[in-house]
Amino acid sequence: MLNDSLLEITQKMAKVGGWSITYGATRSLYCSPAMLAIFGYQSPTVLTLEEIGRHILPRYRSTVLDCIQNCRSAGATCDTEFEIETVDGVRKWIHVIGKAEAVDESPDLLVVGALQDITQQKQQEQEKRLISDRLLVTLENMTDAFYLLDNHWRLVYVNKAAMKLVGRVGKPATGFVLWEEFPYLLDTPLHEGFYHAMRTNTPFHYEYFSNLMNNWIELDAFPSPEGLAVYFHSITERKQMQQRLEQSQHMESIGKLTGHVAHDFNNLLTIILGNADLLQDLYQYHEQGHRLAGAIRSAALKGSELTRRLLAYARKQQLAPRPLDINELVKGMRELLVCTLSVNIKIIVLVQHDLPPALVDEHQLEGALLNLSINARDAMPKGGELTISTSEIHVQEDEARKHPDFRAGHYIEIKVKDTGTGISPENLKHVFEPFFTTKELGKGTGLGLSSVFGFAKQSHGHVTITSQPGAGTSVNLYLPVSSEAVRAITEKPEQPSGGNETILLVDDDEMVRNAAQSMLSTRLGYDVLAVSNGDTALSVLKHNSEIKLMFTDVMMPGLNGHELAQQALQLRPDLKILLTSGFISTTLANPSPGESGFPVLPKPYSQIELARTLRDILDQPL
């Protein structure tokens, strides 16, 4: 009695019921109380096979009957799963096991078995299957490449992104050992990292360049009891952006340094050039003295050209952009290039018809093209071809993003291409840096390409270079298209006169101030009041109404030249202003809305340039 009770309790807990079918003169079915409870019946209830069969869902009935029949006739074990609907209309999953047994001293055959309610198990399996399917869909559609390794380094799963990144098509092969399929990974940081992750159960992160995928790869591997889950994706674009940003910051730092060096050097050159002009006037009837002063002046002008190139790179030179016919300029330079380049270099000029004008400084562009042509000549010592071509181009966003600090837009493209020796990839990274050169010592300053770079950027354009050793070099200069038509300009006379007006000279550098004062008063005849700072200049303006023009340096302690000019105009609205500086910042050359723009004379300036500029300003009506 106790054993029967224990059996009944056990069956209820396990949701297992017992059953038997007797095949003899009659066919009878026995159902244990636990089985009756599974079907929704109260115990005791006597059921027939037909009554039980009606609870089995139609699509499973033939399978269950075949299973029992096979068990009865062939002596096989019956083992199957199917769905039922209980008396209360509840759907359940059932697992049935049965086998045939002979009845002692009887011709009857007995089939006995067990029946279990596995509904909860099936539901869990279904939930797992749904989760698995969703996970699979997620893995197949994720942008990250992903694969699974088991504890024996066999590939268990690989997603589409991984197949695409490694350049393979078709259904992914699984089951192979990673190190056997890719033996070149052995004894690499990847191999060591995977083993360390498995051994210590810690994640592994690695960035590397993959020759197989031709990409920079970022990889993360996460260990689990089943093996290793590996995620990886290309970071090539990020690496390139990083490199472009670093290059841009590097160039910007060099630009700031060169700008300040050029500014200080221009102050010295202003002194030298100004005094050389005065000495030439003083020694105009003394041959040796006149010649020596001329040599000093020539050296100062050469130094001025060097600082001009430095300022071009630093984007702090003064530009005079205007609408320009690029085709006319390029064709007009052909004769100059023929005289400048070697006779065994063939010059080809290809221009696009109906090219719109570019907004650019004509003289600076001529200098840039001459620089590029001379570089091409030096790269073709045995001769070759130099091709200069022009075209109109619309640069799209995706193309502009490939280059640092390049904006999409409407440009005129000037391409200077040679058939020379070319440049190695390592050197190509540095060609726009000032003082970098691949030429022999003494054959180049290293400022040619850097000044072209600075000129292009200051002109709101861009410059790119492509080259391969032995295959020549191509430099592409992009200049913004002008919204205005080309305008004719009138040349100014070379020998302007001086005057007798009173000028207030402001410069914190005593030597520069003295040189400028000598040119203004001794040679040009002006009445000059010279001071060293803005506060003193304002005080002089308050007490001297005869001052017609203030000539002031921009970079000074305290009030800078622009601030001084603004305050001076408040005191004297009729005052004429001329600024000067060793470098011209964008802010000073192009003041913000609401500010008055002032004319600027770049240092170093000659006596002629100073005289012409002053007369242009003083002769303008108020």
Range 532-537 contact pairs with CB under 8 angstroms and sequence separation of 24 or more: 532/506, 532/507, 532/508, 533/506, 533/508, 533/557, 533/558, 533/559, 534/506, 534/558, 534/559, 534/560, 534/561, 534/563, 534/564, 534/567, 535/559, 537/504, 537/506, 537/564, 537/568
What is the distance between the alpha carbons of residues 577 and 618, in angstroms, rounded to a whole number? 9
pLDDT band at 220 (very low <50, low <70, confident <90, very high): very high
pLDDT at 5 over 70: no
Arithmetic mean of pLDDT over the chain? 80
- pLDDT for residue 280: 72
Provide the token pair at 114. Answer: 């067990």
Q: Which of 212, 234, 256 is the last residue of a domain?
A: 234
Q: Calculate mean pLDDT across residues 573-590.
A: 70
Tally of residues, the chain: 622
Question: Are residues 146 and 111 both part of a single domain?
Answer: no
Q: Which of 182, 199, 234 is the last residue of a domain?
A: 234
Question: Are residues 544 and 525 both part of a single domain?
Answer: yes
Question: Are residues 210 and 267 both part of a single domain?
Answer: no
- pLDDT for residue 595: 40
In the 8-state DSSP scheme, what is residue 519?
I
pLDDT at 81 over 90: yes
- pLDDT for residue 281: 72
Q: Decide if 136 is inside a domain.
A: no
* pLDDT tens digits, 379-405: 888 889 999 999 999 988 888 777 767
Question: Are residues 347 and 465 both part of a single domain?
Answer: yes
**Coil, strand or helix: which one is 415?**
strand
Q: Tell how strand 358-360 and strand 345-350 pair up.
A: unpaired
- Stated as kind and residue range, the H or E segment containing 510 is helix 510-518
- pLDDT for residue 39: 93
* pLDDT tens digits, 351-371: 998 899 999 888 788 888 888
Q: Calculate mean pLDDT across residues 410-439.
A: 81
In the 8-state DSSP scheme, what is residue 213?
T
Q: Decide if 126 is inside a domain.
A: no
Question: Are residues 469 and 329 both part of a single domain?
Answer: yes
Q: Decide if 488 is inside a domain.
A: no
- pLDDT for residue 496: 59
SS3 content of the chain, % helix, strand, coil (to 5): 45, 25, 30
- pLDDT for residue 260: 61
Question: Are residues 344 and 457 both part of a single domain?
Answer: yes
Q: Decide if 583 is inside a domain.
A: yes
* pLDDT tens digits, 481-522: 988 876 655 455 455 578 889 999 999 888 888 888 888 887
CATH code, domain carrying 86? 3.30.450.20
Q: In whole angstroms, what separates CA 497 from the centre of its chain?
A: 54
Q: Calculate mean pLDDT across residues 283-302.
A: 73
pLDDT at 270 over 80: no
- pLDDT for residue 588: 44
- pLDDT for residue 315: 44
pLDDT at 540 over 80: yes
Q: Give the DSSP per-residue string, 138-157.
A: HHHH-SSEEEEEETTSBEEE
Question: Are residues 224 and 255 both part of a single domain?
Answer: no
Question: Are residues 544 and 597 both part of a single domain?
Answer: yes
CATH code, domain carrying 535? 3.40.50.2300
Question: Are residues 450 and 332 both part of a single domain?
Answer: yes
Q: Decide if 89 is inside a domain.
A: yes
- pLDDT for residue 436: 61
Question: Are residues 329 and 473 both part of a single domain?
Answer: yes
Which residue reads 């002063």 in tokens?
Answer: 293
Question: Are residues 443 and 336 both part of a single domain?
Answer: yes
Q: Which of 206, 234, 262 is the last residue of a domain?
A: 234
* pLDDT tens digits, 99-157: 988 766 666 788 899 999 999 888 888 877 777 667 767 667 777 788 888 988 888 88
Q: Calculate mean pLDDT across residues 319-332.
A: 85
What is the distance between the alpha carbons of residues 273 and 304, in angstroms, rounded to a whole number? 9
Q: Decide if 124 is inside a domain.
A: no
Q: Decide if 463 is inside a domain.
A: yes
- Burial bucket for residue 290 (CB in 10 Å: 0-12, 13-18, 19+): middle
Q: What is the domain extent for residue 529? A: 502-618
- pLDDT for residue 439: 59
pLDDT at 589 over 50: no
Percent of the chain with pLDDT over 90: 22
What is the distance between the alpha carbons of residues 346 and 445, in angstroms, rounded to a whole number? 26
Q: Decide if 489 is inside a domain.
A: no
Provide CB contacts within 8 A for 126, sequence distance 6+: none
What is the distance between the alpha carbons of residues 496 and 350, in angstroms, rounded to a whole number? 40
pLDDT at 413 over 90: yes
**Cβ–Cβ under 8 Å, residues 69 and 55:** no
**Cβ–Cβ under 8 Å, residues 372 and 416:** yes
Question: Are residues 433 and 570 both part of a single domain?
Answer: no
**Whole-number Cα distances in Å, 219 to 199, 202, 206, 232:** 18, 14, 5, 4
Q: Calculate mean pLDDT across residues 169-188.
A: 76
Whether the link from the prior residue into 599 is cis, omega within 30° of 0, is: no
- pLDDT for residue 575: 93
Q: Which residue has better confidence, 309 or 237?
A: 237
Q: Which residue has better confidence, 186 or 523?
A: 186
- pLDDT for residue 587: 41
- pLDDT for residue 156: 84
**Coil, strand or helix: which one is 23?**
strand
Q: How many domains does the chain have?
A: 5
Name the pTM for this structure: 0.43
